[in-house]
Structure 1
Amino acid sequence: MSFPKYPAYKPSGIEWLGEVPAHWELCALKRITDLKSGESITAEDIDEYGTYPVFGGNGFRGYTEKFTHNGTFALIGRQGALCGNINYATGKFYASEHAIVSKPKVTHETYWIGKLLRAMNLNQYSVSAAQPGLSVEIVGNLRIPFPPLSEQSAIAAFLTRETAKIDALVAEQQKLIALLKEKRQAVISHAVTKGLDPSVPMKDSGVEWLGEVPKHWEVKALKFIATVQTGIAKGKDNTGKDIITVPYLRVANVQDGYLALDDMAEIEIPVADLQRYLLQSGDVLMNEGGDFDKLGRGHVWDGSISPCIHQNHVFAVRPHAVSPEWLNTITGSSYAQFYFMTRSKQSTNLASISSTSIMELPVVLPPPKEQATLLEFLMKQTTSFDTLTAEAQSAIALLQERRTALISAAVTGKMDVRGITA
């Protein structure tokens, strides 16, 4: 959909802005709004059941029993990765020191100025210290376009409608991705526990939560078909030892179904320890823990980096009586993930599992030829799911790009939205 332009433009003299509608004003941000950091607040003063909401650099944080502001304001994240993040708060609320509150000096639309600030990419003006931070003075001195109030309202109304439409489309794609992920996992789990022939005789697996498996399949604990190699811990004293520097895998490198090897760390270890921690092609890598979705996550090591070792939070499971591909498929299945979760040590949003517990994982073992058939079937199925997921992710990226471009064009006057009501 194309939108009309204003009848006349003028140079703004601002590099990022370019031309603006001829009748718009240009001024320093501090001329129209008072920018002040919020007030310090401790985690102990924030809970789920207080009276007034608390807003920080990333938006809502919880509730407290006092407030710092009353009204409708745009909030700017001022520290770390949240520099330039824009949120809104209405009514009585507490603004923490991690937010800059934009309090109007001249009447203007809060939603309009919030969208303008987002389009300005304020993060680029952050000052690095212990962590990046925004200077209120620097932000206040930035020059901005300032349309008449009626046009601010028109822009705000237009963006409210249009971004809501885009957000709804994004939500549909996200829902599709979730459904594809669920279906993908269901197909894998059914194939590795029931096989492909619905008429085959079944037997009790001997594992209550696993249920029945094909009668001719075996079920063995992992310790009988593989060994588990633990990784190296950082911080050991290597004084006086013959040292070698080698690449090593971290949890960040071991993703679900693939390895991210673009950013490999290195570590110094004694030469005598190299064989102890060395990865071998065919090792099934599994994460010891982290976020719940990382527990047991892994992939097969292909030996593309040699030598290479692994940290203590990544297990190298070395199969000797099962194919690496089958074992990797099993460890990524729903039943294995259930096992890992029920055997893990858990805290808030985090979990970890020991090598001892991993070795007790029940592994279903079809005959080798049937394993190969199942793996071929799953390769085709998962490739289809992954293709559909990638298409949905691409659609989301395009929608988000359009959303960003639409906001930027509207708040900078590159399109004239006056009179557009639907």
Structure 2
Amino acid sequence: MKRYSKYKSSKFKWMGDIPESWTFTKNRYGFIKSNNGSNTDESTPVLSLTTKGVKIKQNLDFGKSSESYIGHQLVEVGDIVFTPRDFDQTPILSDVSKYFGCISNLYIVDKTKDNVLNHFVNYYWYGLKYSVNYFKNFSHGMRFSFNRFQFDEIPLIIPPLSEQQQIVQFLDEKTELIDRLISTKERKINLLKEQRTSLINQVVTKGLNPNVKMKDSGVEWIGEIPKEWLKSKLKYKCKIIGRIGYRGYTVEDLVNEGQGVITLSPSNIVDGELNLEKRTYLSYEKYYESPEIILEHNDIVYVQRGSSIGKSTIIPINHPEMTINPQLVILKKFNCIPRFIYYFMKSEIVGVQTQNQISGGSTPLITQNSVENFIIVLPKTNQEQQQIVEHLDSKTKEIDDLVQLEQKKIDLLKEYRQSLISEVVTGKIKVTTDE
């Protein structure tokens, strides 16, 4: 990529030099402070700023923050919608709206002046977020937010209008290409995960020998199983324990790191594996009050309530002290191979039973009694169970390695996308034909 022939100081160390022909100013001088007015019609489309940009909300019951959208600010086509908070969490700050509608008054909605291209500014803000993390580093408060005055003070670079147009055209083409590559790899990952699920389901219900004699399981939606296998219930193969029925806890029992032990929640189960990036700690006092639900190697945790109902994972050999929160139950004290049950809990047989047993309204629930009575099928001998486990460990690792490889490629593409936008909108590389 080429560089501009002449640069000047931006007056900000974190920004560095900018092309000599570009104007360095502030947001307040790039926008027309006009007010579109407030919504007065219940039929007005309701907009939301999503990771895919400004979209029309199709389900007004999901994430609804008010009983009525009367009074929300109006958005016109071409307006920039900017979120002034949560900069540490949101992957997208703004978008140029393609739709007319109304949106929460928490957003900042603006129109650019004649010499400022709305799509250029949108790319520019994205560049600031991912080049110097400006919005997080220069924001205020627990939620990393800006008020209107602080928003107006955000530095703004304005190239000549013709250059803005060329930059937008270049970035539109490049980001579209990158996004297509990312989508292709995401589809490949989904296919690999489907392959993994299909493999597990086949092996834990039919075994490894394709020529084995089969018998009717006696359950229509299970079908045939190997002749020497057993049909049983989960409660006959392990003990199932939940926090409800033992000592519960309140928010007052939660402590800081170093003052207690990890209490697992559904968010600690990611793609069927234990993930401790997000940690909540329970006091040692409450932890030792319930020794029955202290987690041990090869225990299985299963989500019995909430939006993640049905997820499960197994506790590895090297793990910190842990217990569970009330959304989980523990499977422990097995009289079979625990890891076989770990794989079986991912099968369609358990999936069907989970869905059939869900009750509750806004918070889905499957009772501990229902989990205990899950129908399972398994080989009679621990030896055959272990053979299946070793086979699945090997084959799923091959698939998981491929998934990780594709995910690394996606991460690199996203990093390149971020870097490209940042370098172009701050003038570090030149994509225009004019000097």
Match of 1:104 among 97, 112, 115: 112
Q: Is the Cα contact below 8 Å between 2:249 and 2:286 reproduced in 1?
A: no
Match of 1:331 among 335, 345, 351: 345
Alignment match, 1:26: 24
Alignment match, 2:291: 275
How many residue pairs were aligned? 404
State the Cα distance separating 1:39 from its structure 2 match: 7.7
Q: Distance in 2 between matches of 1:289 and 1:397?
A: 32
Alignment match, 1:241: none
Q: Distance in 2 between matches of 1:32 and 1:247?
A: 49
Q: Is the Cα contact below 8 Å between 1:56 and 1:97 reproduced in 2?
A: no
Task: Provide closer, same or farther for how the CA distance between residues 71 and 340 of structure 1 changes in structure 2, counting only shifts above 3 A.
Answer: closer
Structure 2 residue 162 is the aligned partner of structure 1 residue 150:
yes
Q: Distance in 2 between matches of 1:73 and 1:419?
A: 28
Identical positions, percent: 24
Q: Is the Cα contact below 8 Å between 1:35 and 1:101 reproduced in 2?
A: no
Task: Provide closer, same or farther for how the CA distance between residues 254 and 166 of structure 1 changes in structure 2, counting only shifts above 3 A.
Answer: closer
Deviations 1:188-216 (A, max 9, x none): 10001111211111111122211111111
Match of 1:171 among 171, 174, 183: 183
Q: Distance in 1 between matches of 2:342 and 2:365?
A: 19
Match of 1:230 among 221, 235, 242: 242
Match of 1:52 among 45, 50, 68: 45
Q: Please tell me the root mean square deviation across aligned C-alpha atoms, in Å.
A: 3.0
Unmatched runs of 5 consecutive residues or more in structure 1: 239-243
The structure with the largest strand share of the pair is 1
Q: Distance in 1 between matches of 2:368 and 2:210?
A: 35
Q: TM-score, normalised by structure 2?
A: 0.84
Structure 2 residue 395 is the aligned partner of structure 1 residue 388:
no
Alignment match, 1:265: 281
Deviations 1:366-413 (A, max 9, x none): 122111111111111100110010011101100000101111111111
Alignment match, 2:229: 217
Structure 2 residue 104 is the aligned partner of structure 1 residue 90:
no
Alignment match, 1:77: 83
Alignment match, 2:267: 252
TM alignment of 1:257-406, pairs within 5 A: 257-261=272-276, 263-267=279-283, 269=285, 273-292=289-308, 294-300=309-315, 302=317, 304-306=319-321, 308-345=322-359, 347=361, 351-366=364-379, 367-406=381-420
Structure 2 residue 78 is the aligned partner of structure 1 residue 68:
no
Task: Provide closer, same or farther for how the CA distance between residues 36 and 138 of structure 1 changes in structure 2, counting only shifts above 3 A.
Answer: farther
State the Cα distance separating 1:261 from its structure 2 match: 3.6
Q: Distance in 2 between matches of 1:194 and 1:83?
A: 44
State the Cα distance separating 1:60 from its structure 2 match: 2.8
Q: Is the Cα contact below 8 Å between 1:75 and 1:89 reproduced in 2?
A: yes
Deviations 1:351-376 (A, max 9, x none): 33211011111121112211111111
Q: Distance in 2 between matches of 1:157 and 1:272?
A: 62
State the Cα distance separating 1:268 from its structure 2 match: 5.3
Match of 2:217 among 205, 212, 230: 205
Alignment match, 1:407: 421
AA partner of residue 277 (structure 1) = I
AA partner of residue 417 (structure 1) = V
AA partner of residue 392 (structure 1) = E
- 3-state SS in 1 of match to 2:391: helix
Q: Distance in 1 between matches of 2:304 and 2:3?
A: 57
| Greater mean alpha carbon deviation, residues 80-89 or residues 156-165 | 80-89
Alignment match, 2:145: 133
State the Cα distance separating 1:83 from its structure 2 match: 9.3
Match of 2:128 among 106, 116, 120: 120
Deviations 1:219-246 (A, max 9, x none): 10011111111124222999xxxxx965
Deviations 1:234-287 (A, max 9, x none): 22999xxxxx96543333334443323453512354688333433343322212
State the Cα distance separating 1:186 from its structure 2 match: 0.2
- 3-state SS in 2 of match to 1:150: helix
- 3-state SS in 2 of match to 1:14: coil
- 3-state SS in 2 of match to 1:71: coil
Q: Is the Cα contact below 8 Å between 2:296 and 2:315 reproduced in 1?
A: no
